[in-house]
Amino acid sequence: MARAAVLGRLSWQLGTVVELLPEATDVKSIVLEVPAWVGHRAGQHVDVRLTAEDGYQAQRSYSIASAPEDADLVLTVERLEDGEVSTYLVDELRVGDELELRGPIGGYFVWEEAQGGPLLLVAGGSGIVPLRAILRHRAAAKSSVPARLVYSSRSLEDVIYRNELAGLEAEVTLTLTRVWPDDWSGRRGRVDTALLQEVAWTPAERPLTYVCGPTGFVEAVAESLVSLGHEPARIKTERFGPTGR
């Protein structure tokens, strides 16, 4: 097991929004200057707290999209239908606004070069966010650990970091599940056992695997990897969203 984190109290602190970047349909990156930020490891998340004038508060967790080496802290947020916090962050937040957050949180779904690889990163939708932090960290650290990314998106317009992915020096397999352009020559359909058998590492190569996405996606991918013979203990998962039940 990886090292344990020893933390003092995680205090709420203020960051200032310095840039807002549209990334995909309903998805924005929030670039924050956080003076008291203590640094983070790729894959960790923060808690964000919003406060209304009457004192009402709402909190949610968001994965950190930036690498530890990046100058600013970046959160990439998808607006969820009915999302109390995500609708504010995507629709209302402006450059110059302040945002209250605390972190970094989580020490398990994290990658540092000493953990080695090869890396297999499997993302569904906005599950790409912490995996992008891992890939940016790997690139910034000039790591020689090989990495493969399998990324499933509903349509090309939903692909987050589309222009950046090719430059991250990983083998990227992008699959579109619902809609694709007429001239789309890439993969279509869900990430299933056959696709993973074809593009993931073999079990003998013992990849260190990170799977992030909606619950159904993560369940299916993790089951497929285990059925192909990958070691469950080397598969780290992070899930979000409802089960639909």
Partner 1 sequence: MSFVSRGFKGRRREGGDSSRVPPGQYLTDDFPVLSAGPTPHTPLDQWTFTLRGAVDEPRSWTWEEFRALPSETVTVDIHCVTKWSKLDTTWTGVPVATLLDGVETSADYVLAFSDGGYTTNLPLEDVADGRAWVAFEYGAEPLDPEHGGPARLLVPHLYFWKSAKWVRGLELREDDKQGFWEMYGYHNYGDPWREQRYSGD
Q: Which lies closer to partner 1 via its Cβ, residue 51 or residue 202?
A: 51
Shortest spacing between CB 46 and partner 1, in angstroms: 11
Shortest spacing between CB 77 and partner 1, in angstroms: 14
Q: Which lies closer to partner 1 via its Cβ, residue 25 or residue 59?
A: 59
Q: Which lies closer to partner 1 via its Cβ, residue 34 or residue 156?
A: 34
Shortest spacing between CB 80 and partner 1, in angstroms: 12
Tokens found for residue 27: 């998805």
Shortest spacing between CB 55 and partner 1, in angstroms: 5
Q: Which lies closer to partner 1 via its Cβ, residue 10 or residue 165?
A: 10
C-alpha distances in angstroms, 127 versus 22, 133, 209, 217, 241? 17, 11, 14, 10, 11
Q: Hey, what amino acid is at 183?
A: D
Shortest spacing between CB 138 and partner 1, in angstroms: 21
Q: Which lies closer to partner 1 via its Cβ, residue 185 or residue 244?
A: 244
DSSP code of residue 202: P
Shortest spacing between CB 78 and partner 1, in angstroms: 16
Q: Give every CB contact of residue 202 below 8 A, 6+ residues apart in sequence.
A: none
DSSP-assigned states of every residue in 124-190: EGGGHHHHHHHHHHHHHTT----EEEEEEESSGGG-TTHHHHGGGSSEEEEEESS---TT--SEES-
Q: 13-39 burial string, b = 16+ CB within 10 Å, else e?
A: bebebeeeeebbebbbbbbbebeebee
214 close to 106: Cβ distance less than 8 angstroms: no
Q: What are the counts of helices (DSSP H) followed by strands (DSSP E) for the chain?
A: 5, 12
Q: Tokens 């109290």 identify what position?
A: 9
Cα separation, 158 vs 109, whole angstroms: 24
16 close to 93: Cβ distance less than 8 angstroms: no
Residues of the shown chain interacting with partner 1 in the complex, contacts defined by CB under 8 A: 1, 4-10, 14, 47, 49-53, 55-61, 84, 88, 92-94, 97-100, 105-109, 215, 219, 222-223, 225-226, 232-233, 235-237, 239-245
Q: Which lies closer to partner 1 via its Cβ, residue 144 or residue 243?
A: 243
Q: Which lies closer to partner 1 via its Cβ, residue 169 or residue 231?
A: 231
Shortest spacing between CB 112 and partner 1, in angstroms: 14
